Amino acid sequence: MKRLFATALMAAATMLSGPSMAQGNYPNKPVTILVPAAAGGPSDTVARLVAEAMRVDLGQQVLIENVGGAGGSLGAGRVAKANPDGYTLLLYHIGVATFGPLYPDLPYKPGEAFDSVGLVTDVPMTLVGRKDLAAADVTALFTWLKGEGKGATFGTAGVGAVSDLCGRLLTDAAGIELTVVPYKGTGPAMNDLVGGQIDLMCDQTTNTANQIKAGEIKPYAVTTKERIAILPQVPTLAETSVKDFEISAWHAIWAPKGTPEAIRQKLAASLQKALKDPKVIERFAALGTAPVSADMATPAALDKRFQSELARWGKLLANASTK
């Protein structure tokens, strides 16, 4: 009888210290958000702003780890293989929906390796050049790229990065040729554009707006349907010969597959609060973007967006070259 009682007590204690207790206490140590691109770039900027606000809500440090390379597919792979306990997360963008067709030998399937936490923001992109490029506007730039400037250098964060995706779409739409120069993120690529070592980039306003305003780089066009408030003088690509051109970089937070629902909901609630933080809203606005609404910063909204983007890019990039 005594033994039975002791066994029952032990079973109860095990249940309390098992997964449900761990989830109830979550988080009880620092959470790491892995950004699969170099520090100082656009994904890093978004992640650090959100992490700081989530830290306040979660009551634990939220650390950023930058693992750049292969367009973000390397770092995302680290998260795909991480323990699904809510302590390792991925913050990246539209690129995650393009890794499948661009890297057929990837050791994980992006559509199956992650559980959604929520969408974060949707960032416009800009076609920008080194400040001493002679072309005065985007029409002159395309003319130059079809003649003397054929094969101009174009900095990207590698195959799978949204900067690379923009370049691919642009070369097709405008009938131009570019020589891609890959970096571990567009943070370092921007340093080289400012320094005049490369000619062009297509990158998010979170990385270009300040440099444009400081006159360090030349803005040619924005990639959204409408002009954007912080750069009203810059035309849309749709105003030029590439009529239907449109791309932006939606960002999201994912967890490794198998992360408990309760933890993801807690993270989503924290993300929603972070995105309402006036400091986050103000910093995003200064960089040309805005947080998504609370109903989009949810696992369900990200699931929907991710699935439709996987299908869209799966078709569009089915025959893409990975060079």
Interface with ligand MLT (CB under 6 A): 37-38, 41-44, 95, 157, 161-163, 185-187, 203-204
Q: Which residues contact 251 (CB under 8 A, 6 or more apart)?
A: 43, 46, 91, 92, 93, 119, 120, 121, 122, 123
Q: Which residues contact 207 (CB under 8 A, 6 or more apart)?
A: 41, 42, 45, 186, 187, 190
One DSSP character per residue, 71-86 reads GGHHHHHHHHTS-SSS
Give me the least distance between CB of 37 and ligand MLT, in Å please.
3
Q: Pick between residue 167 and residue 260 the one whose CB is nearest to ligand MLT.
A: 167
Give me the least distance between CB of 277 and ligand MLT, in Å please.
21
Do 247 and 162 touch, CB atoms closer than 8 A? yes
Give me the least distance between CB of 134 and ligand MLT, in Å please.
26
Do 19 and 239 touch, CB atoms closer than 8 A? no
* 114 bridge partner residues: 256
Do 94 and 165 touch, CB atoms closer than 8 A? yes
Give me the least distance between CB of 201 and ligand MLT, in Å please.
9
Q: Pick between residue 58 and residue 202 the one whose CB is nearest to ligand MLT.
A: 202
Do 255 and 267 touch, CB atoms closer than 8 A? yes
Give me the least distance between CB of 156 and ligand MLT, in Å please.
6
Q: Pick between residue 165 and residue 263 the one whose CB is nearest to ligand MLT.
A: 165
Q: Pick between residue 161 and residue 274 the one whose CB is nearest to ligand MLT.
A: 161
Q: Go through 18-36 and write b for each residue having 16 or more CB atoms within 10 A of its CB, e for each that does not.
A: eeeebbeebbeeebbbbbb
Closest CA to 76 of 45, 50, 102, 52: 102
Q: Pick between residue 26 and residue 284 the one whose CB is nearest to ligand MLT.
A: 284
Q: Pick between residue 170 and residue 263 the one whose CB is nearest to ligand MLT.
A: 170
Give me the least distance between CB of 286 and ligand MLT, in Å please.
18
